[in-house]
Chain A
Amino acid sequence: MAKDPRVTRIEDLPGPKSKQELEEMKMPYEEYCRAQFDPGNEFSKPQSLKGIRWLSTTMYIFTPHSVSNLAELGADVIKVEMPRMGDPMRHCAPFNETYLYPLHESRPMTGTGMGYLNANPNEYHISMDYHIDEMKEPFYALVRMSDGLTQCYRPGTFDRWKQSYRYLQEINPRFISVWGGGFGYGPKCFGGSYDILGQAHAGLASVTGMHEYMGGHCTKHSNWCIDWYSGTQITFGILAALHWREKTGLGTKIEFSQVQAATRCLGYAAPLYGRFGVVRQRWGNWDTQLCAHGIILCGKSEYPDAENPQDRLEARYAMISAFQDEDWKELCAITGMNDLYDKYKSLNERAEGEAQIEIYAALEKWAEDKSRGEVVKVCQDAGLLAEPVMNDREVYECEHYRERGTIRWMDDPIFGDVLQHGSYSAGLMSKTPRRLFWIWRPVGADNVKVYHELLGYPTSKIEEWYENAWL
């Protein structure tokens, strides 16, 4: 602004300030977006959370992911693992086979499983047995130099070890302490949690999958979606706490129950019960509000000669959407379901449970002699919304994801060529995008960097701790 508020300067006014800016503003929107987001060029832009330092004494996916969001946005995150062994997630997925080596110098024949991917990127990995008295001093030293910590031990454990919020805020009043776990305080306080437990206990699994009379069962998502979801919810809490600290100068305690987070996905389930006493049921690949608006099974394989059984046998599902009256009319015309059009002319009639059973059965009958691609093409040619249910290989080969940088190859400095979709799938930011420096580091890989270079301990001390297996 000009010094005299009565003076109006061109640079203070909205709109283009130069010919170049004017040209940029005239760009077609598509090009403008490409120039703004510029996938692949993230590393030349600033990082929004640079300067935040966060500690992570977390395991598996849920709590680590709450911190990995910060690390991808530029925070310095120090992951503290148990000596030699590390996070148990390193050892357990998928099917305990797909390993990247090394895990730790003392275990040259053991690697880290790919389940660890996306949960701990860009983090410095140190080891410390922080529950013993001998290591309290370096632990507290880290707390003094950090903005916060996320942990996942059973409620009260960190308190017993004198590492809970009420102890840490005395050392660092600006400290933000996060606990993430199963149930939180309450009658089931000591129940642990896993993703499947979160999905089950929150009522989410009971409404996932087809109804029992259609041969379905309650279903958990194959991946740990509630781990990823609730981890991200914690990140929102952390960012809000950081903002609050900007205003008050004080830290916060965040307590985050995984089973509680999963209930948030249930939409109208509880209000429905509260008003009508109706317990929401599973409706699988169809929709409780809209019809036709679901996934149907096609009779012929898209890749009948493929070697991979996932392609040869499973690529047979298509998503079709034609719930508006005009679309529904078109769908009935191209599929020959004219009797159903006469029967269910309005959306309200079509959305009834019995109507949906009849409609989807008729659609699958029509698709019996067609492949997924044929069904999608017929629908799209008629102006309807339809897409194949893609498998991971098709996602990998999808041009849309490649152009947007959602899925991309990276050369990890230690582990080599890695196909990545996690870091770059969480939305685009024009000024401070997420980025991935490395997927993870071996257990204790940054012991010298953190204990010596950051905290100032002599290397002889670090070696002594290491000999005692405290590091």
Chain B
Amino acid sequence: MCDIIWCKKDFEGKPCNTINYLDPYCFWNWEGTINCAECGAVYYIHMIQGKMYRGPEDRPGQKPDTSPLYADKPLDGYRFYGAGIEGRTRPFECLPRHIYLGVPDMVKFSIRGRPVRGHRPQPPSAGIAGSYGFDWDIEKLSPDLYEEYQQKIKNGEVSEW
């Protein structure tokens, strides 16, 4: 389930009539500005736990913080904007959410503080026809994660269980 912004601004001589979908992955707890995928009008919204707390309010002239995941025009048959169209919609990222707050929370370490490959994008390590090697050497392939891990070891945040 997600909330929407139904844009009814005049656009090219007629109402825009575009439904912009506010997917819960991004907007569950979120405050900021968002563009209409069709006409580019900017709206301010504040969502708390999936409910529209404030907005949508017009913010003409402002730069949008983000875009809807996808949008469609139900009054124009099957016209729609899929995910990841630059300037209109956002790529589908499907981030894991924090277990209580629902905010995006990219998991890089297990509960005992060791690195997991639960984050992306991943370093290119594929060979012929999508083949993968047998070992993910984090020092070589994910140096940032490796650094973070070393820091965790130093801080005593890595345990056996």
For A, the interface residue count at a CB cutoff of 8 angstroms equals 45
| Interchain CB contact under 8 A, B116 and A417 | yes
In A55-97, the 8 Å CB interface with B consists of 96-97
List the 8 closest pairs (A to B, CB-CB), nearest first. A105-B126, A444-B130, A417-B114, A445-B132, A466-B129, A417-B110, A101-B120, A447-B129
Does A294 have its Cβ within 8 Å of any Cβ on chain B?
no
Does B55 have its Cβ within 8 Å of any Cβ on chain A?
no
Q: Mark A99-116, 1 if CB is under 8 A from B, else 0.
A: 111101110111100000
Other A-B pairs, 16, CB within 8 Å; known A446-B131, A463-B128: A98-B118, A100-B118, A101-B118, A101-B119, A101-B121, A104-B126, A409-B114, A411-B114, A414-B117, A416-B114, A416-B116, A417-B116, A444-B129, A465-B129, A466-B129, A471-B129
Given contacts A96-B94, A99-B96, A448-B127, contact A413 B120 (CB under 8 A): no
Secondary structure call for the B interface: loop
Given contacts A402-B161, A409-B161, A416-B110, contact A100 B116 (CB under 8 A): yes
In A404-456, the 8 Å CB interface with B consists of 409, 411, 413-419, 438, 441-449, 451
| Interchain CB contact under 8 A, A97 and B112 | no
CB closest chain-A residue, reference B134:
A413
Alpha-carbon distance A443/B131, docked complex (angstroms)? 8
**Residues in B lying within 8 Å of A, measured CB to CB:** 91-97, 99-100, 109-112, 114-122, 124, 126-132, 134-136, 138, 160-161
Does A163 have its Cβ within 8 Å of any Cβ on chain B?
no
Alpha-carbon distance A463/B127, docked complex (angstroms)? 10
Q: How far is the CB of B110 from chain A (nearest CB, A)?
A: 4
Alpha-carbon distance A447/B129, docked complex (angstroms)? 7
Does A23 have its Cβ within 8 Å of any Cβ on chain B?
no
| Interchain CB contact under 8 A, B128 and A462 | yes
Alpha-carbon distance A333/B104, docked complex (angstroms)? 53
| Interchain CB contact under 8 A, A444 and B131 | yes
In A351-407, the 8 Å CB interface with B consists of 397, 402
Given contacts A106-B130, A471-B130, contact A413 B135 (CB under 8 A): yes
| Interchain CB contact under 8 A, B116 and A415 | yes
- A-B CB contact pairs (8 Å), 19 listed: A99-B96, A102-B117, A105-B124, A109-B91, A111-B118, A111-B120, A127-B129, A413-B135, A414-B136, A416-B114, A416-B115, A417-B109, A417-B114, A417-B116, A418-B110, A441-B132, A445-B132, A449-B131, A465-B129
**Option from A307, A417, A441, A445 in Cβ contact (under 8 Å) with B100:** A307
Alpha-carbon distance A417/B138, docked complex (angstroms)? 12
CB closest chain-B residue, reference A111:
B120
In A292-309, the 8 Å CB interface with B consists of 307-308
Residues of A within 8 A of B131 (CB): 444-449
| Interchain CB contact under 8 A, B93 and A109 | yes
Q: How far is the CB of B102 from chain A (nearest CB, A)?
A: 11
Alpha-carbon distance A109/B93, docked complex (angstroms)? 7
| Interchain CB contact under 8 A, A448 and B116 | no
Does A459 have its Cβ within 8 Å of any Cβ on chain B?
yes
Alpha-carbon distance A279/B11, docked complex (angstroms)? 66
Q: How far is the CB of B106 from chain A (nearest CB, A)?
A: 10
Residues of A within 8 A of B160 (CB): 409
CB closest chain-A residue, reference B106:
A99
Alpha-carbon distance A411/B160, docked complex (angstroms)? 12
| Interchain CB contact under 8 A, B128 and A466 | yes
